[in-house]
């Protein structure tokens, strides 16, 4: 690891006493790429609480946002140290941050359409990566990202923080140990996104490099509700535009379908049959899927369904077996104050309370234990050991979501080969595994 002392304004060499037992030379120096809502509310607070970590750099195509991030980080450390702290360097372009040799690792909290390229560029620059989910906007991008991570030898962890919530691990352990008998069906319930959005073309704000923000995707005119708010950090409009994200099927589905894979021991595989249908807006700016229904068949005979949540069927994951059921959700947890409205429920329930009794010697399966997701990533960075959601696992979970999105679009059954990552005898579906890239941002 490299020292971050050169980026601290005063003094240039900082004694260990300033930070307590953890001298700067022993710190993991982190750069934040993308400094919007999820970075401010979730990712930066997830790492800056650790004494052997320093956020020393931040990058955002919106110069107002990166200036806010500098203030936020430096105020946090000033309060923590009890003295003024001005140790954060800012950039408008993330490539300049990656060139900073004092940065050991990066938090990538950009819009979905940038995730794969950001991660590939970061690992090729020698940085370890914490990547917000989903891994990619297309299956091909995810494959390229995972391959690049493993070729580089760097650490990447996806932000599927449900793996570090006890109730999800316990639910998966109970399922794997046969507490509900033979697993038959998994039902995933996700919140929905409403249509709407102002389509009026607007001047690009002087503080925003809009062409860079669009990145690999085709050019479209600027309007604020296509990007992010210019005032405040409310939920951004790009989440509801298919050019930049697939909607809730990946936005929240990347969490829940990952849990389904964990419970089935299918983390390095995927479904073999997929079908789906969805409502899509016919006017307005926002065009991601609305109410939807999907069904996937895995080679173990388990059927995994997806549906919009409701009061009767609250957000979460329902495992049904031959001898009962288990339901797991986040309970009252929210990653951000601006999480979408969703029907919430108790964190862990079962058809019979005995199903939830503690594991015994008769339950041999034990899963990876992580109690803090960002902390697990940092430990992986320190030790170089595998973290709880590495690149390939993340790619496979995202793929399951993207397969459903393709099925929604085609409105027919699809046949998938997880080994070759291609559809069987279906050129139309295979054409949707990738997307055109703008030449200036191709990867």
pLDDT at 194: 86
CA distances from 352 to 166, 319, 356, 359, 364 (A): 19, 13, 8, 15, 21
pLDDT at 439: 87
CA angle in degrees (0–180, nearest 5) for 92-338-199: 70
Residues 36 and 233: beta-carbon distance below 8 Å: yes
The H or E element that residue 377 is part of is helix 373-383
User: Low-confidence residues of the chain, pLDDT below 70?
Assistant: 1-25, 332-345
- Cβ burial, residue 206 (10 Å; 0-12/13-18/19+): exposed
Residues 6+ apart with CB under 8 A from 166: 371
pLDDT at 337: 52
> How far apart are the C-alpha atoms of 430 and 424, rounded to whole Å?
9
CA angle in degrees (0–180, nearest 5) for 404-115-258: 45
Encode pLDDT of 302-317 as tens digits.
999 999 999 999 999 9
pLDDT at 378: 98
How far apart are the two ends of the chain, measured CA to CA in Å? Answer: 28
Residues 60 and 36: beta-carbon distance below 8 Å: yes
DSSP state of 292: E
pLDDT at 167: 97
pLDDT at 433: 98
Residues 75 and 48: beta-carbon distance below 8 Å: no
Q: Look up the pTM and report it.
A: 0.91
156-158 and 128-131 strand pairing: parallel
Query: Measuring CA to CA, which residue among 216, 232, 177 is closest to residue 436?
Result: 216
């Amino acid at each position: 690891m490299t020292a971050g002392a050169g980026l601290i304004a005063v003094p240039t060499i900082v004694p260990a006493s300033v930070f307590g037992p953890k001298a700067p030379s022993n710190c993991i120096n982190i750069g934040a790429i993308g400094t919007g809502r999820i970075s401010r509310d979730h990712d930066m607070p997830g790492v800056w609480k650790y004494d052997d970590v320093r956020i020393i750099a931040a990058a955002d195509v919106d110069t107002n946002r990166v200036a806010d991030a500098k203030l936020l980080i430096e105020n946090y450390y000033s309060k923590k140290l009890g003295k003024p702290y001005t140790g954060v360097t800012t950039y408008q372009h993330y490539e300049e941050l990656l060139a900073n040799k004092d940065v050991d690792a990066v938090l990538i909290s950009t819009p979905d359409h940038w995730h794969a390229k950001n991660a590939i560029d970061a690992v090729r620059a020698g940085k370890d990566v914490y990547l917000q989910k989903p891994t990619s906007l297309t299956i091909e991008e995810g494959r390229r990202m995972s391959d690049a991570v493993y070729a580089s030898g760097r650490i990447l962890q996806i932000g599927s923080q449900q793996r570090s919530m006890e109730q999800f691990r316990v639910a998966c352990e109970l399922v794997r140990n046969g507490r509900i008998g033979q697993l038959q069906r998994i039902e995933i319930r996700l919140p929905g996104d409403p249509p709407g959005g102002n389509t009026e073309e607007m001047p690009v704000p002087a503080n925003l490099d809009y062409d860079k923000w669009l990145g690999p995707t085709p050019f479209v005119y600027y309007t604020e509700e296509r990007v992010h708010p210019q005032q405040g950090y409310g939920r951004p409009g790009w989440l509801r535009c298919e050019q930049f994200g697939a909607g809730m099927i990946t936005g929240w589905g990347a969490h829940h379908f990952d849990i389904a894979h964990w419970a089935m021991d299918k983390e390095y595989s995927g479904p073999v049959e997929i079908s789906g249908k969805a409502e899509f807006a016919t006017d307005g700016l926002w065009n991601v899927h609305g109410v939807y229904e999907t069904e996937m068949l895995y080679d173990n005979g388990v059927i995994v369904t997806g549906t919009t949540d409701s009061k009767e069927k609250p957000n979460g994951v329902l495992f049904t077996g031959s001898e009962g059921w288990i339901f797991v959700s986040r309970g009252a947890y929210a990653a951000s104050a601006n999480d979408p409205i969703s029907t919430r429920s108790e964190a862990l329930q079962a058809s019979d309370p005995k199903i939830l009794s503690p594991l015994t010697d008769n339950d041999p399966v034990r899963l990876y234990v992580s109690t803090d997701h960002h902390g697990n990533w940092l430990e992986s960075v320190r030790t170089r050991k595998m973290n709880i959601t590495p690149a390939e696992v993340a790619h496979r979970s995202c793929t399951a979501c993207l397969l459903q999105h393709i099925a929604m679009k085609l409105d027919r059954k699809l046949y998938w080969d997880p080994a070759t990552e291609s559809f069987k005898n279906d050129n139309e579906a295979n054409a949707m595994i990738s997307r055109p890239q703008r030449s200036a941002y191709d990867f």
